[in-house]
Amino acid sequence: MNRTRPLVVGIESSCDETGVGIVRGDTLLANTVSSSMDEHVRFGGVIPEIASRAHLDAFIPTLEQALDTAGVTLDEVDALAVTSGPGLAGALMVGVCAAKALSLATGKPLYAINHLVAHVGVGVLDGGVLPENLGALLVSGGHTEILRVRSLTDDVELLGSTIDDAAGEAYDKVARILGLGYPGGPAIDKLAREGDPMRIRFPRGLSQPKYMGSAQAPGPHRYDWSFSGLKTAVARCVEQFEAAGEPLPVADIAASFQEAVADVITAKAMLACTEQGISNLLLGGGVAANSRLRALTEERCAAHGISLRVPPVSLCTDNGAMVAALGAQVVMAGGQPSGIEFAPDSSMPVTSVHL
């Protein structure tokens, strides 16, 4: 196997995106994504069984297109990589079975890759080697985490995460309350630009002293987030306007909600970075596309002397290229293949970069 600039096919199926990406070393050759998002719109959120059915239908066409775009054949590939977790169990199963079969059929080694760490690893495709003293802020429909990355391939630590809803999930729920449709992120982001973010002070979850503690004596949730109370606060706010017979200031509510999310995410991320000696931050996940989260992260990183790296949106949302990118890094670092007997792990911890 070529461990210098390996040609790696990466497969992603942990949520509603079927992704196949192909990289050579840290160079992106193809990033083909088929999304079942349209099928989830009427439900206001991702339905795991519908997503799993869509993965099965989309996988081979997505693979064919990625190979075609990259201009390579399976025979030329050095290694295969697949997301083995965390994610929706039934959805993961489709990508994992397909990847194992490809490995069996071609004799190519298979690497079972952590989806969250892959969101960090994708950074190498846009700007090359990741800096030292690295932290990663991952915000998506399924995740909200701050990680310390000592080594992309074998030393990743979870510093904090949401204890209930992911930030993107809160966007979807609030969009439903405000009648803005699914997915909620882009709709709220757009409307928020016309609203007053200071009109309503929505709660910043887990910010009270009993949760925060101090740098010397950290509380139980110093770097953690909670968004379920925020969603409820928006619902109560809407009801109060309705009960008073007043027109709903939808744009102001959207802006105030977005401000609360961006504020608490970045405030806690900055706290984690400054206290943990992190001087370089990577922002990833689908919510990295949110204009206010990006702006506030940039502003606060600059204020704290932290360098910020944000991959292009097509690499931030779920995709196969990130799996291929991290797979290639593991191959280059001399990592052992995972074989074809592993089980997908819907709650795979970030400490497990690959199986």
Residues in contact with other proteins by CB under 8 A are: 42-44, 47, 49-50, 52-53, 56, 59-60, 63-64, 74, 89-90, 93-94, 96-106, 176-177, 235-236, 239-240, 243, 340-344
Our CB check for other proteins shows the closer of 56 and 267 to be: 56
CB of 175 to other proteins, least distance (A): 12
Is the CB of residue 67 less than 8 Å from the CB of residue 328? no
What pairs with residue 218 in β-bridges? 213
Q: Where are the beta strands (DSSP E) in 267-334?
A: 280-284, 307-309
- Of the candidates 147, 171, 120, 136, the one whose C-alpha atom is nearest the C-alpha of residue 329 is 120
Whether the CB-CB separation of 197 and 189 falls below 8 Å is answered with: no
Smallest separation, CB 239 to other proteins (Å): 5
Shortest distance, position 243 Cβ to other proteins, whole Å? 5
Cα 49 from chain centroid (whole Å)? 21
Neighbour-count burial of 352, counting CB atoms closer than 10 A to its CB (0-12 exposed, 13-18 middle, 19+ buried) = middle
* Region of 128 on the Ramachandran plot (φ > 0 left; ψ -120 to 50 alpha; else beta): left
Nearer to other proteins, 31 or 52 (CB): 52
Q: Give the DSSP H or E segment for 155.
A: strand 155-161
107's tokens = 């004799």
Q: What is the rounded CA–CA span in Å between residue 153 and residue 141?
A: 25
Cβ of residue 320: shortest distance to other proteins, in angstroms? 14
Q: How far is the CB of 345 from other proteins (least distance, A)?
A: 11
Q: Residue 146's beta-bridge partner residues? A: 137, 160
Which is closer to other proteins, CB of 163 or CB of 235? 235
50/72 with CB nearer other proteins: 50
Residue 314 Cβ, how far from other proteins at the closest point, in Å?
Answer: 25
**CB of residue 176 vs other proteins: minimum separation in angstroms?**
7
Q: What is the CA radius of gyration of the chain?
A: 20
AA identity, residue 157 = E
What type of residue sits at position 19?
G
* Closer to other proteins by Cβ: residue 128 or 339: 339
Which is closer to other proteins, CB of 96 or CB of 125? 96
In the bound state with other proteins, the residue whose beta carbon lies nearer, of 195 and 344, is 344
